[in-house]
Structures are given as C-alpha cells and as structure tokens.
Amino acid sequence: MPEASPSPSLGLTLPMWVAAAARAAMQCLVGEPVVLNQQLFQPGGDPVQTVPVRSVSLLESGVQALAISVCDPGPGLDLTRGLEVWVRVAWAPTDDPWLNVIPGAGVGRFAEGGGICLSTFARELLEQNLRPFVPKGRGLVVEVVLPRGRELAQRTSNAAFGVVEGLALIGTQAEVQISASPDQLQSSLDRLRALVVEPDFAGRLTLVIGENGFHLAQQLGFGSSGPVLKTGNWIGPMLVAAAEAGVEELVLLGYQGKLVKLAGGIFHTHHHLADGRLEVLVALAVDLAFPLDLLQSLGQAASVEAALEDLQAREPRQAEALRQAMAAAVEARVRAYLQRYGDWALQVGAVLFDRSRQRRWPGPVGQVLLADWGRSL
C-alpha cells in the first residue's frame, strides 16, 4: 500500500478530500497506476486542484477498493483538521443510477429519510472525476466513512438543520473560506455586488451564515424568491452593504443559538470573538417577567438550545413567547444597527430555527416578508 508525499495543497473543503480519495480508489479498482497527488477537475471549469491521498488498497480484486485522505483545511480554526477520510468504491449491480453515494460511519445524513447530506458541488465533483472510469452500462457505489465524524459533529450545529450521525458533506467550493476572516467578508461582498446587478434581481435577498444555513435555505425554496447569500460571521457589515446595494427586502435566516447574539447587539457572530448568548436569553426572559426559578434555570443551562428545550418541556407557552421575543429583538437590533450608518428603506425580517428544523419563529417583519414571498412556516 503506497504512502503519500507531503501535502502540496492546503485549505480545501471536505468534499475535495472525499473526491481525491474516491478517484484514487477508482484507479486502483480498474487497474490503473495509482496517483497519490490527485488532479481533480472542478465543476464549472474552475482550475484543476492537486489533492493528496495518503494510501490506497484493493479490498477485493475487480470488485472494490479503498483510499484514505487526511483533511487539511489550511490556516484558521477548523475542526476537520487532520480528519481521516475513507472512501470505498465498488461496482454496483445496476447502472440506475450510475453513481450511488452512501453515508458510512461518521457521515451526516438527514434525520428524515436517512439520505446522505451531500451538496450539489460535492456530487458534481464526484461525478466529474469518477465518470471517466465507469463504462456505460455499469454502476458504482461510493461509500464515505469519517472515523471521527460522529464525535466532531457534536461540536457543530448540524442537528439544528436536521443532519444526524456525523459531518455533512456540503461544501460549495474547493477552497475553505474562514468565516471570521476579512477574506470571507470580501468574498461575500463581491458576491453581493454581483447578485444585485443581475437582470432578474428583484430586490429580495436571503442571508445565511454558513454552509448548513445555505443548504437549508435552498431546501426550503428560498432560492425561488431571490438569491441566497452566505455571509460567514460578518452579519453587520453585510447588512449595511445590502442596504447600500439597493436590496429592499431581506430575510435573515439562521439557527436560534447563533442569531440570539444579534438580539444582544453582537453583529460579528464567531464564538471566538464574542458570546454572551445565555445572558441575552435571560435578559429577554426578564423583559417578559419570567419568574425567578425559570430565569435561574435559563442562566444555568449548558447552551441556548438546552435552555429552550428545558423551558419547552416545563412551560411551552413561555418557551414560545421567548422565541418570538428573540426574533423580534433581532429585528429591532438590526434596524438600530442600520440606522447608525444611513437611512435606507431596507426591510429586514428574522427567521429562527431550532434543532428540529420543523419549527420556525419569524419576527414581525419576517412574518410579513415570508407571506409576501410565498414561503409558509
């Protein structure tokens, strides 16, 4: 089993490491010389990327093979650093479909239905790099295993978007963009400026923070009402930029455990820069005149999600009132934030989600915008 040379390619998203291992395993399966520094072709004709693979082996001659890569997301804080990616490829009994990607241990799947959580970019990347090895009339099974995926997923908000069992494969591009970095902000600003000059842009925009939010927004059909844009953690500057660019209606769609920061006036949401989420939640509960025992319970909870789940079990009506107050507070803080920098007609509505992904809490403006956009809750 050959070993890889030192990594020549840094800062790549998880789907790239999956595709590299899959392509190396395919070379092994069909008897071609195995290349450990894989040259991956990207969807849309973007430049070829070199992605290293650690090792490759046949599992059963002419039937299945396995390759392993090790994720290197580049500089910055990223929990996938050093994550082993195992990919098994095997011939399928049917060519309908010709490519079947299945979630192995540690790979996120949707709680509803159990299907693999795989972005369009990740699927197209696999298709583009594996299709040349698969003759017409044959089918292929690709199983992805992330040995530490289940453990690492506990440190993400995957469950807030209905993804269980492991890490989602939802990157939308080859290179990692650090959500708290100025480069991420500049990239989002560039994308915003490009969107608003499109001929079909009608003044409506949905903002989400990360890949999970982007994926969920597309699933819920927000893309049919206008573009969906990922902001990273730079929510404040992106709101101002949207107003300056002429956006008229904006839905801020996010996980309640993240957007609660905005209710406290925190407009850069990376947890390494600012937190205070439970403190904001307790302050909102004080405004609602919650009794002392509930206030203490909220303040002592391990997380916003845990606090609200416990409150839901004890006092469902008050839990609902607190969530509605949170969404309304986000909208009020956003209005105040924007007024510091200019006088715009931009309407911003907040829509908050919990871990079930089934319940949504719009603020007053959010409720109006969703009705206008034809998005039901």
One-letter-per-residue 3-state SS of 166-208: EECECCCCCECCCCCCHHHHHHHHHHHHHHHCCCCCCCEEEEE
The β-bridge partners of 92 are 139
Domains annotated for the chain, with CATH where assigned, are: 14-167 (3.30.2110.10), 182-373 (no CATH)
The amino acid sitting at 310 is D
Structure tokens at 174: 């080859």
Q: Note the pLDDT tens digit of each residue in 233-255.
A: 778 888 999 999 999 999 999 88
At residue 275, does pLDDT exceed 80? no
Cβ pair 56, 36 in contact under 8 A: yes
pLDDT, mean of residues 151-175: 80
| Dihedral-angle region of residue 74 (phi above 0 means left; psi in -120 to 50 means alpha; beta otherwise) | left
The Cα 52–Cα 73 span in angstroms is 13
Q: How many angstroms separate the first and last alpha carbons of the chain?
A: 53
The Cα 122–Cα 63 span in angstroms is 24
The amino acid sitting at 253 is L
- Comparing CA positions, the residue from 80, 26, 15 lying closest to residue 49 is 15
The mean predicted confidence, pLDDT, of the chain is 86
Q: Note the pLDDT tens digit of each residue in 64-78.
A: 999 999 998 876 556
At residue 297, does pLDDT exceed 80? yes
- pLDDT at position 184: 65
- pLDDT at position 183: 60
At residue 306, does pLDDT exceed 90? no
- pLDDT at position 76: 58
> Residue 326: which H helix or E strand, with range?
helix 316-339
The Cα 134–Cα 139 span in angstroms is 7
Q: Work out the burial of residue 259: count CB atoms within 10 Å of its CB; fewer than 13 is exposed, 13-18 middle, 19 or more buried.
A: buried
Q: What is the DSSP string of 116-152?
A: B-B-HHHHHHHHHHHGGGS-TT-EEEEEEE-TTHHHH
pLDDT tier for residue 135 given thresholds of 50, 70 and 90: very high
pLDDT, mean of residues 363-376: 88
Q: What is the DSSP string of 327-344?
A: HHHHHHHHHHHHHTT---
pLDDT, mean of residues 99-110: 94
At residue 288, does pLDDT exceed 80? yes
Cβ pair 94, 51 in contact under 8 A: no
